[in-house]
């Protein structure tokens, strides 16, 4: 159950109540720097050594072969293939709708400004290993990359001690059209895609979840000119529940988040203390059978229930917290949409669990945590492209706009900027004569 | 003139030819960290001390008063006001066209996914002081912030030794609707907006150009949960010119970039050595009268002319360089659009100088440098907002989608994720009975 219950906090307490547990990044940074240096100087052989060290497996080849991929097909059940196919179709449908049309605006006679979305050429996807084989994250990253039109999609994931990547990850990757797959995990995977090695190509942007080392490595990749999807932290869920919620469902949703990791955070904001009691009772019932019970218990210790009677104040708290996932567990959930300013992904109503969006409804599950939803959004098709601007100016266009540019440039003391217009205007004047 | 001329480089040389000069960031980082710590512990009084140290002016109040703003109106010429007004109208026209409509997609019966653009609540704009009063950058950042719908727009700019910000900056800021203006410059300005002080409000994202300390401070602000527009470096221009270019115009454009700073870089990619000679001749003529001649000369020393006969190879080079600004100095410029993959902003044709986009045509001039256009775009309306996803699922919706979610969750060993669906399906079954 959630033991930390705060009833009617003052607004001045919101800031401290919404702070996430801090971790010390210093030691991480030194390790990550060392790994980058190792990969920079020794390339593939560093990757093979680091994989032996961290994944207990000495590889001969880093790249997954087409034979390995073909073999995995038999190891994934038809039921799972069908489910992944359904999810993929939904994710494609929602992400295809996000493709931006080019914009072309005539600013004045002879001045045309355009904006065109162009895919990032080479992107890298990181899929962690560990207890949960996250093939769902392959869908969430590869599908929008393909829709955006990325030319090269590189996927790295750590092998198990037998030198294999989970069959469902490989099967999903080939289904989506990932270009190449490598058996590398951790910070060394991010380093390999940032620097390029004999085997692993260098990419322009890296995506995907991971532990603290992977997160630190993604930030460190900036030093090598490689962008990242977003700053990452432990996953989190905030549920807003009023008297029309179903406590059994709320408890199940909170537990689905809590099982992610002991560092996950779940927050229940309720309009009444009775709701917290009812949800806690349900948590006690449901948690007992969970395979990941001890993880969920750990996460619940970081978690809070906050009772706020006033709706306005509740949403001020929610927006200050800026949750990664936000469930509105009420019957009239759509009435609350206008109140939501800061969140990664929002789930409306009693029949809309977070796990729908985690897997199969169509929205993306790579989302900003740790309050970053105040300034970042989750991964979408735009994350895999850039909006480049173009302008086209005719003789008539520069003749009309020229004086404005010259006045502004000279007022900023940038004479050569003004001259670039003047040489053209003078040339046009002499043409007229 | 550009002395460094490379004729027909091999493709294998592209990488080294496109590398920008590296600077050592270590000392910067230590200074920036110290400034953040000072502002964190002493707030406004630290800002006043640091302003005295760096800007040689002891302030009493950090905030610009409405009287000061009113007074500036008389100090800006009507001609400049008119020019700024024209530019603002064009920038508004192009950026208003960038506003994203909400997306709502019915994925299946009872499953609806939506995406809605919501403005970042509080944004900070940094405008450097120094030799060029960059009121144009106020337009480029405040106009899209207003169009996006940001609630609070904070502007920081260093005062001169009399404690004043340039009148044209203040006038433009009030014209655009900036919420509050503070007399703080350098890394301490970024620190104040990232941490919040007694006077300066904390923001969610910082924007704007600046020297290396400002750039390092913007990256450091990430440690405090504050996002930045993009990683920044010295400004740069690449001109592609063929035999249909006008060498006089190309020279003027290269010089307009070169006058920015000695660390600016200009690159001329020409289809023929004769073009380089003609442009160099024009540079010699035009540079002699420039007030910022010594700066331009410095920048030209970092610069290169690259002669590549083959068009395909030329654009491979250009895309590998990934310029901030790209001018296509040819008569049939629009024919080249499809070849451009990596660039911040593109200027098409002989009558389209970079300075048009720097000031007044409507496109934004806050653009990715240092090769970052491979993964980042320039500032646009999206930079001031986030695309939040929403989903709404009915009883029917979860009944149809449930099995897919359960299969996937169980295959990822996340039982509580599956349970969040199962409790709902069981509840619906019992409703039916």
Residue A23 pLDDT level (bands cut at 50, 70, 90): low
| pLDDT tens figures, B250-295 | 999 999 999 998 989 999 999 999 999 999 999 999 999 999 999 9
The C-alpha atoms of residue A370 and residue A199 are separated, in whole angstroms, by: 35
Q: Is pLDDT above 80 for A22?
A: no
Q: Residue A32, SS3?
A: helix
Q: What are phi and psi of A354, to 5 degrees?
A: -60, -35
CA distance A294 to chain B (A): 12
Tokens coding B229: 């527009």
B241 and B313 inside one domain: yes
To the nearest 10°, report the CA torsion of A346, A255, A248, B115.
10
Tell me which of B205, B229, B253 is where a domain ends. Answer: B229
A409 and A335 inside one domain: no
pLDDT score at A432: 76
**Closest chain B residue to the Cα of A356, Cα to Cα:** B405
pLDDT score at A364: 98
The C-alpha atoms of residue B168 and residue B105 are separated, in whole angstroms, by: 46
Catalogue the long-range contacts made by A270-274 (C-beta closer than 8 Å, 24 or more residues apart): A270/A240, A270/A241, A270/A242, A270/A305, A270/A306, A270/A307, A270/A308, A271/A241, A271/A242, A271/A243, A271/A307, A271/A308, A271/A309, A271/A311, A271/A314, A272/A242, A272/A243, A272/A307, A272/A309, A273/A5, A273/A7, A273/A307, A274/A243
Catalytically annotated residue among B166, B260, B325, B365: B325
Name the helix (H) or strand (E) containing B5.
strand B5-7
Query: Is the residue at B217 inside a domain?
Result: yes
Residue B302 pLDDT level (bands cut at 50, 70, 90): confident
Listed in order, strand segments (DSSP E) in A69-185 are 103-108, 111-119, 122-126, 152-157, 180-183
Q: Which residues pair with B347 in a beta bridge?
A: A391, B327
Cβ distance B107 to A113 less than 8 Å, yes or no, reads no
B30 and B177 inside one domain: yes
Q: Please say whether the beta carbons of A111 and A401 come within 8 A.
A: yes
Tokens coding B54: 């760096």
CATH of the domain at B420: 1.20.5.1300
CA distance B16 to chain A (A): 14
CA–CA–CA angle B225, B227, B229 (5° rounding): 170
A11 and A33 inside one domain: no
Cβ distance B404 to A94 less than 8 Å, yes or no, reads no
pLDDT score at B233: 84
B77 and B38 inside one domain: yes
Cβ distance B424 to A353 less than 8 Å, yes or no, reads yes
CA distance B254 to chain A (A): 9
Q: Which residues pair with A304 in a beta bridge?
A: A267
When divided into structural domains, chain B yields a total of 3
Query: Is the residue at A331 inside a domain?
Result: yes
Q: Is pLDDT above 90 for B24?
A: no
**Closest chain B residue to the Cα of A135, Cα to Cα:** B412
Residue A430, chain B, CB below 8 Å: the answer is no
Residues of A in contact with B86 (CB under 8 A): 401, 404
Residue A246, chain B, CB below 8 Å: the answer is yes
B280 and B145 inside one domain: no
Residue B71, chain A, CB below 8 Å: the answer is no
Query: Is the residue at A114 inside a domain?
Result: no
What is the CB neighbour count within 10 angstroms for residue B104?
A: 13
| pLDDT tens figures, A228-279 | 999 988 899 999 999 999 999 999 999 999 999 898 999 999 999 999 999 9
Residues of A in contact with B120 (CB under 8 A): 374-375
So what's the ipTM on this one?
0.96
Closest CA to A286 of A261, A310, A253: A253
- State chain B's maximal CA–CA distance in angstroms: 91
| pLDDT tens figures, A80-93 | 999 999 999 999 99
Query: Is the residue at A15 inside a domain?
Result: yes
The C-alpha atoms of residue A19 and residue A296 are separated, in whole angstroms, by: 20
Q: Please say whether the beta carbons of A137 and A107 come within 8 A.
A: no
Chain center to CA of A209: 8
B217 and B306 inside one domain: no
B125 and B217 inside one domain: yes
**Closest chain B residue to the Cα of A24, Cα to Cα:** B223
Tell me which of A189, A205, A229 is where a domain ends. Answer: A229
Residue A210: left if φ>0, alpha if ψ -120 to 50, beta else—which one?
left
A29 and A150 inside one domain: yes
Q: Please say whether the beta carbons of B115 and A357 come within 8 A.
A: no
A350 and A422 inside one domain: no
Cβ distance A341 to B374 less than 8 Å, yes or no, reads no
pLDDT mean over B225-252: 96
| pLDDT tens figures, B336-379 | 999 999 999 999 999 999 999 999 999 999 999 999 999 999 99
A317 and A404 inside one domain: no
The C-alpha atoms of residue A157 and residue A185 are separated, in whole angstroms, by: 5
Q: What are phi and psi of A359, to 5 degrees?
A: -120, -50
Residues of A in contact with B378 (CB under 8 A): 387, 389
Give the one of B135, B342, B356 whose C-beta lies nearest to A405's C-beta: B356
Give the one of A346, A361, A387 whose C-beta lies nearest to B111's C-beta: A361
Give contacts of A 156-175 with B, CB under 8 A.
168
pLDDT score at A29: 87
Residue B405, chain A, CB below 8 Å: the answer is yes
Instruction: Give the Å distances, CA to CA, from A58 to A45, A55, A71, A192, A254.
Output: 11, 9, 21, 17, 40
Q: Mean pLDDT for chain A?
A: 96
Query: Is the residue at A187 inside a domain?
Result: yes
Length of chain B in terms of residues written: 433
A90 and A222 inside one domain: yes
CB neighbour burial string for B356-394, b if at least 16 within 10 angstroms, e if fewer: bbbbbbbbbbbbbbbbbbbbbbbbbbbbbbbbbbbbbbb
Residues of B in contact with A342 (CB under 8 A): 121
Residue B132 pLDDT level (bands cut at 50, 70, 90): confident
Cβ distance B375 to A226 less than 8 Å, yes or no, reads yes
pLDDT score at A20: 87
Query: Is the residue at B381 inside a domain?
Result: no
CATH of the domain at A130: 3.40.50.1980
DSSP 8-state class, residue B330: S
Closest CA to B245 of B343, B168, B332: B332
Catalytically annotated residue among B324, B331, B354, B432: B324
Query: Is the residue at B207 inside a domain?
Result: yes
Known catalytic residues of A?
A: 324-325
Closest CA to A238 of A223, A258, A262, A214: A258
Task: Establish how many alpha carbons lie within 13 A of residue B205's alpha carbon, considering only the half-sphere containing its beta carbon.
Answer: 26
Give contacts of B 10-39 with A, CB under 8 A.
none
**Closest chain A residue to the Cα of B359, Cα to Cα:** A405
Q: Is pLDDT above 70 for A25?
A: no
| pLDDT tens figures, A304-337 | 999 999 999 999 999 999 999 999 999 999 999 9
Domain that holds residue B208: 25-99+121-229
Cβ distance A87 to B357 less than 8 Å, yes or no, reads no
Residues of B in contact with A343 (CB under 8 A): 388
Q: Please say whether the beta carbons of B244 and B216 come within 8 A.
A: no
Q: Is pLDDT above 80 for B6?
A: yes
Tell me which of B346, B362, B378 is where a domain ends. Answer: B362
pLDDT score at A41: 97
| pLDDT tens figures, A86-143 | 999 999 999 999 999 999 999 999 999 999 999 999 999 999 987 779 999 999 999 9
**CA A393, A398, A402, A404 torsion-angle sign:** negative
Closest CA to B296 of B339, B272, B265: B265
Predicted TM-score (pTM) of the model is 0.96
CA–CA–CA angle A97, A98, A100 (5° rounding): 110
Instruction: Give the Å distances, CA to CA, from B412 to A159, A212, B298.
Output: 16, 21, 59
* Candidates A292, A351, A374, partner chain B, best to mutate (most B CBs within 10 A): A351
Tokens coding B329: 């100095």
Query: Is the residue at A167 inside a domain?
Result: yes
Residues of A in contact with B344 (CB under 8 A): 388-389
Helix ranges (DSSP H) in B177-309: 186-195, 212-220, 247-258, 273-287, 293-301
pLDDT mean over B304-328: 97
């Amino acid at each position: 159950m959630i033991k930390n219950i705060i009833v009617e906090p003052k607004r001045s307490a919101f800031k401290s109540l919404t702070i996430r547990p801090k971790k010390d990044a210093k030691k991480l940074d030194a390790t990550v720097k060392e790994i980058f240096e190792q990969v920079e100087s020794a390339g593939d052989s560093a990757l093979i050594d680091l994989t032996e060290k961290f994944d207990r497996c000495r590889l001969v080849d880093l790249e997954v072969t087409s034979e390995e991929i073909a073999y995995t097909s038999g190891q994934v059940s038809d039921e799972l293939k069908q489910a992944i196919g359904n999810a993929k179709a939904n994710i494609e449908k929602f992400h295809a709708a996000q493709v931006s049309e080019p914009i072309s605006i005539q600013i004045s006679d002879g001045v045309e400004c355009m904006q065109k979305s162009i895919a990032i050429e080479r992107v890298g996807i990181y899929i962690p290993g560990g207890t949960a084989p996250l093939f769902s994250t392959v869908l969430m990253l590869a599908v929008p990359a393909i829709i955006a039109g990325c030319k090269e999609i590189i996927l790295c994931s750590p092998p198990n001690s037998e030198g294999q990547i989970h069959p469902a990850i490989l099967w999903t990757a080939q289904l989506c059209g990932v270009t190449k797959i490598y058996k590398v995990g951790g910070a060394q995977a991010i380093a390999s895609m940032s620097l390029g090695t004999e085997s692993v190509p260098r990419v322009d942007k890296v995506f995907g979840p991971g532990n603290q080392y992977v997160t630190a490595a993604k930030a460190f990749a900036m030093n090598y000119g490689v962008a990242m999807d977003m700053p990452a932290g432990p996953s989190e869920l905030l549920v807003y529940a009023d008297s029309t919620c179903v406590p059994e469902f709320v408890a199940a949703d909170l537990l689905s988040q809590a099982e992610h990791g002991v560092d996950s955070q779940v927050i229940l904001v309720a309009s009444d203390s009775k709701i917290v009691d009812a949800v806690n009772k349900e948590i006690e019932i449901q948690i007992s059978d969970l395979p990941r019970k001890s993880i969920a218990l750990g996460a619940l210790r970081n978690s809070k229930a906050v009772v706020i009677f006033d709706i306005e104040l509740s949403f001020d708290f929610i927006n200050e917290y800026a949750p990664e996932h936000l469930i509105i567990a009420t019957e009239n959930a759509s009435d609350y949409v206008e109140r939501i300013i800061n969140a990664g992904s929002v789930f409306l109503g009693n029949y809309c669990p977070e796990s729908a969006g985690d897997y199969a409804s169509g929205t993306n599950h790579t989302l900003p945590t740790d309050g970053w939803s105040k300034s970042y959004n989750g991964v979408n098709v735009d994350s895999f492209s850039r909006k480049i601007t173009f302008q086209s100016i005719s003789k008539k266009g520069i003749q009309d706009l020229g004086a404005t540019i010259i006045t502004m440039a000279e007022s900023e003391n940038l004479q050569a900027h003004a001259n670039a217009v003047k040489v053209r205007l003078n040339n046009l004047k002499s043409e007229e004569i």
